[in-house]
Structure formats: C-alpha cells, structure tokens
Structure 1
Amino acid sequence: MSSASVGSEPGDGIDKGSISSLIPTVSKAHRKLAGSLLADLGLAAGQQFVLMLLWEESPQPQSDLTRKLMIEPPTAAKMLARLESAGFIQRERSSTDRRVVLVSLTESGRALEGPVNAVWGRLDEETTRDLTAAEQDQLRALLTRVAESLTGR
C-alpha cells in the first residue's frame, strides 16, 4: 500500500481508491450518525427499520421481518426484545399457527413514525450536505444499482 493511501481521515490504512474499502467506512459513519440522532427517541441504530416495516403493515410474522431486514434470526429476536421492552412493539403467537410469532406496533411505536421520519430526513441532509442536488440524484441511482446487484433484485 502506498503512503498516499494512509492518512488521518476515517478509514486510515485502507485503500481509499477501493469501493469495497469505502463502503464499510461510509456505512459505519452513517450508522454512528443515525444512532446519535435516534437516541433521543429511545432507539438504537437499526431499530427504526423494524418500525418502518411495521408502519407499512402491522402485525407481521417475526420470520418475515427477519427476512426483509436481511439479518439472522437471533439478531432479530434480540432487536425485537429490546423494542418490546421499550414499549414500541408487542409479540404474540398466532391464534391460527402457534409456531408463528406476530409482531405489531403499540401506540408508542405508532407515535414514533413522525419523529423517526424527521430524523431520517435530517440524516439524509447531513449525509449529502456537500453534494449538489444532481450529485444526490446520481448517488441515489448508483447506490440503488449496487444494492440491486448485491441482493440479486
């Protein structure tokens, strides 16, 4: 690695020309900022995605949420347990299939929709503040294509 790729910026010691090195650096910084913005709402970074899915449809089977979030079942169970203990969701066995755990929003969880969406907007603004509107559109299009490529969609 050349000395030109090592500095005092985030991602020290990585090849800054490599997309595969930049993605985790951007992801970690974005998640850290998201976490700091969501903390005021009593949420940890990542938990907002569960709520967003439930705002679209509630209740949902826990297995469906796990699949949509692309996380492992134990990770989903831990995240849901935290959201449940915070009073934002509730889980109960399906009355038609006892193997299925249904996850639904509580009133407290529903009440977070506006505040979380406001945080999400602020996160977008802070993430792209140094980009022009055209650059933001281009970034959105490129990230969509990369996500589709990596997820096979």
Structure 2
Amino acid sequence: MKSKKALAQPIGHPGLLLDDQLCFALYSTSLAMNKVYRGLLRELGLTYPQYLVMMVLWERDELTVSEIGERLFLDSATLTPLLKRLETAGLLQRKRAVSDERQVIVSLTTEGRHVRARAESVPEGVVCAVQCSPDELASTKKALEKLRKRLLKHG
C-alpha cells in the first residue's frame, strides 16, 4: 500500500501541473468573478452575459447583432439566445433593418433603460469584492487587455 505522500506526488511531465498553468489561473479567476457578479446581478434578474449585452446597449442603443457580437467577442450563435431571453424579459427588442433585412437591429425598451439605474451599484460591488487599489485595478485590466490582444492574434 502506498503512503498518502506518495499518492500526492505529481505524475507525468512537470509542465502539465494544473497550478502552473496560466489558463487555469485565468479560468478559475473568471469563475470567481462570475460568482461575485451572480450575487450582484440577482436582483436585476440578469446573468453576467446578459449584463454585458445590456452594458453595450446602454453605451450605444440600436446596434446590429454583429456589432454587439464584435464588442463582446461573441458569435451570433452564442449571442442570439441571449438576445431572445432579454427580449422575452422585455428589456430589448429586435427588428430587421429596413435597408438590409439580413441585419437585425437591437434596441432597448423603456424597461431596459430603467434597469440601467438599478445596475449603477454593480461596478462598486465588484470593486469592493476585489479589494484592490484603483492603480492595481487599472494595471490588472491593462495587462489582461494586452494578453487578450496577443491571444486573439494566435487564436
């Protein structure tokens, strides 16, 4: 019978240790961040991906599905079900563009605009959860954006 210590030893190539992987650090951090957002967004009745769509539309209303997708790095197959759920919830509407019926224009409803005011406390809740200085938050965000840009070149 092997001891517990022997069982805890890594098996295989040392480069394949989970805790050494950048991808796992990003993935597990994303899960933790989504958990924070889940609590903050519960009262708004939004999931995190739905919140992202709403933020894009709060910045600029009446966008095409492809414009929203480009902004969020999502394809239309992923985005369309999100938009349908938000439309069913009465927060946005989708209409075919008059100039090109292949395009779908997404716009906020009155209720969708009102949700913005209720969502204004969400960023502050995230800042409290991450417990970072404003400088640390800015540098972390900048480093992640730089990493994303590099990865997109190779993905």
Q: Check whether TM > 0.5.
A: yes
User: Given the alignment of the two structures, is residue 85 of structure 1 paired with residue 93 of structure 2, yes or no?
Assistant: no
Q: Which residue of 2 is the match for residue 29 of structure 1? A: 32
Query: Within 2, Cα distance between the matches of 1:56 and 1:34?
Result: 19
CA contact (8 A) 1:47 1:79 kept: yes
Letter in 2 for 1:57: R
Aligned AA (1:58)? D
Deviations 1:17-75 (CA, angstroms, capped at 9, x unpaired): 32221100001111122122111101111111111111122101112112222122122
Distance 1:96 1:81, change over 3 A: same
CA contact (8 A) 1:32 1:45 kept: no
Name the structure 2 match of 1:151. 152
Query: In structure 1, what residue type is equivalent to 2:19?
Result: K
**CA offsets, 1:69-126, max 9 Å, x none?**
2122122110000000111100111122111111000111111223223112211320
Check whether the contact 1:38–1:45 (CA below 8 A) recurs between aligned residues: yes
| Pairing partner for 2:70 from 67, 72, 84 | 67
The answer to which structure has the higher helix fraction is 2
| Root-mean-square deviation over aligned CA pairs | 2.2
> CA offset at residue 134 of structure 1?
4.3
CA 1:136–1:98 in structure 2 vs 1: closer, same or farther (change >3 Å)? closer
Larger Rg belongs to? 2
Partners of 2:133 and 2:60 in 1: how far apart? 35
Contact 1:49–1:69, Cα closer than 8 Å, also in 2 = yes
> Residue 54 in 1 paired to residue 57 in 2?
yes
SS at match of 1:112: helix
Number of residues of Structure 1 aligned to a counterpart in Structure 2: 141
Residues 59 and 19 of structure 1: CA distance in aligned 2, closer, same or farther (over 3 Å) = same
Cα distance in 2 between the residues matched to 1:112 and 1:47: 12
SS of the equivalent of 1:87 reads coil
**1:107 counterpart residue number:** 110
Of all paired residues, the percent bearing the same amino acid is: 28
**Runs of at least 4 residues of structure 1 off by over 6 A?**
none
Length-normalised TM-score, structure 2: 0.79
Structure 2: gaps (5+ residues): 1-6, 11-16
Gaps of 5+ in 1: 6-13
CA distance in 1, matches of 2:93, 2:50: 14
Which amino acid in 2 is paired with 1:102? I
